[in-house]
Amino acid sequence: MDVANATVFITGANRGLGLAFAREARRRGAKKIYAGMRNTGGFEESGVVPVRVDVTDKASISAAAELAADTSLLVNNAGIAALIDGPLASDVEAQSIRMFETNYYGVVRVTQAFERILLTKPHAAIINVLSDIVWLPRPYLTPYAASKAAAWSFTNQLRFHLREQDVQVLGLHVGFVDTDLTSGIDVAKASPEDVVRQTYDALAAGKSEVMADRGTAMLKGTLAAEVPGYITPPPGL
Ligand SMILES: NC(=O)c1ccc[n+]([C@@H]2O[C@H](COP(=O)([O-])OP(=O)(O)OC[C@H]3O[C@@H](n4cnc5c(N)ncnc54)[C@H](OP(=O)(O)O)[C@@H]3O)[C@@H](O)[C@H]2O)c1
């Protein structure tokens, strides 16, 4: 799908990667852009319509879907992360519940609410914002990683389920991106603009997934190895 022909709805679009998705959609001439966000107060972005939505709140999702019934491209972007001491930390359960509510069930709920809307469009697509973390051992991100791995699995089931109905489902995998989410982490980061450009290009090329940085592409390349990257990450990761 070419974004230029789409009406786009993006969750978590008031900042970070979500805002970059909105701006790049506008740059590419999308018909209409809905920026989903928990708090619309003070949001002003030319050519972008703010819509209140909290992905943990079904009523707000239904209201947003009703308002944005012309959507043909859904971008499930909203997400949260937290650092913990490791897979056996005392807060692993509480943090996992929190991460799953937004990063997994949030994606499921929003996709369910938009399914009927997308199925009535001649060309429709869904982008799910995932991560390299689905394959990368990072014990301090255990709850986040588990929630993103679940969202990846959902993405794969969804893609197969919707294939017959011509809805393109694209998974975006990427490592560190320069947004508020990673502000406290001092590592090399991809720019949100570059990640979004690659994602819309992949969508236009009819692809099912995109690895938006070299490290993530390299990591995915190890999956068929005897010792894949999720057991021993390649050097540099
Ligand atoms: N940054 C990275 O390194 C990186 C790497 C791979 C994948 N990702 C993924 O990229 C996506 C965007 O993250 P980001 O880096 O742009 O982070 P960010 O700057 O922290 O932005 C997160 C966005 O999600 C929104 N959000 C959080 N909980 C929400 C909820 N319950 N309902 C609606 N919106 C909610 C936030 O809204 P508020 O302003 O209201 O908090 C904000 O707009 C996430 O799915 C993240 O997991 C990020």
Give the per-residue pLDDT at 119: 98
The total number of structural domains in the chain stands at 1
Task: Give distance in angstroms: CA of 16 to centre of ligand 1.
Answer: 7
Predicted confidence (pLDDT) per residue in 82-111, tens digit: 999 999 999 999 999 999 999 999 999 999
In this structure, the residue with its CA closest to atom 33 of ligand 1 is 54
User: Does residue 232 sit within a domain?
Assistant: no
CB atoms within 10 A of CB 148: 26
Structure tokens given for 99: 């991460």
Q: What residues contact residue 8 under an 8 Å CB cut-off, 6+ apart?
A: 21, 22, 25, 30, 32, 33, 34, 71, 72, 73, 74, 75
236 is a domain residue: no
Q: What is the DSSP string of 22-74?
A: HHHHHHTT-SEEEEEES--TT---TT-EEEE--TT-HHHHHHHHHHTTT--EE
Q: What percent of the chain has pLDDT over 90?
A: 98
Strands (E), 121-235: 124-129, 167-173, 209-211
Q: What CATH number is given to the structural domain containing 190?
A: 3.40.50.720
For residue 233, tell me if it sits in a domain: no
**Distance in Å, CA 11 to ligand 1 centroid:** 9
Query: How far does residue 115's CA lie from ligand 1's centre (Å)?
Result: 22
The bridge status of strand 49-52 relative to strand 32-37 is parallel
Question: Which residues neighbour 167 within 8 Å (Cβ) at sequence distance 6 or greater?
Answer: 118, 119, 124, 125, 126
What span, in angstroms and rounded, lies between the C-alpha atoms of 146 and 70?
33
Domain that residue 137 falls in: 3-221
**Cα–Cα distance for residue pair 78/188, rounded to 1 Å:** 22
pLDDT band per the 50, 70, 90 thresholds, residue 184: confident
pLDDT digits (tens, 9 = 90+) for 56-91: 999 999 999 999 999 999 999 999 999 999 999 999
Three-state SS at 236: coil
Report how far apart the first and last C-alpha atoms of the chain are (Å, whole number). Answer: 32
In the chain, the amino acid numbered 11 is: T
- Ligand 1: centre distance to CA 207 (Å): 23
State which of 17, 60, 138 you would mutate to test the pocket of ligand 1, scoring each by most atoms of that ligand within 8 A of its C-beta. 17
Q: What is the mean pLDDT of the chain?
A: 98
Q: Tell me what pLDDT residue 71 has.
A: 98
3-state helix vs strand vs coil in the chain, percent to 5: 45, 15, 40
Residue to mutate (ligand 1; options 133, 136, 179, 185; most atoms within 8 A of CB): 179
Instruction: Please count the other Cβ atoms lying within 10 Å of the Cβ belonging to residue 80.
Output: 18
> Taking Cα atoms as reference points, which of 173, 143, 131, 151 lies closest to residue 83?
143
How many whole angstroms from 217 Cα to the centroid of ligand 1? 22
pLDDT of residue 74: 99
Residue 115 lies in a domain: yes
Question: Which atom of ligand 1 is nearest to 103's Cα?
Answer: 45
- What's the CA-to-centroid distance between 100 and ligand 1, angstroms? 13
Residues near ligand 1 (Cβ within 6 A): 11-12, 14-18, 37-39, 53-56, 77-81, 102, 106, 129, 131, 174, 176-177, 179-182
Q: How many angstroms is it from 129 CA to the middle of ligand 1?
A: 9
In a domain, 227, yes or no: no
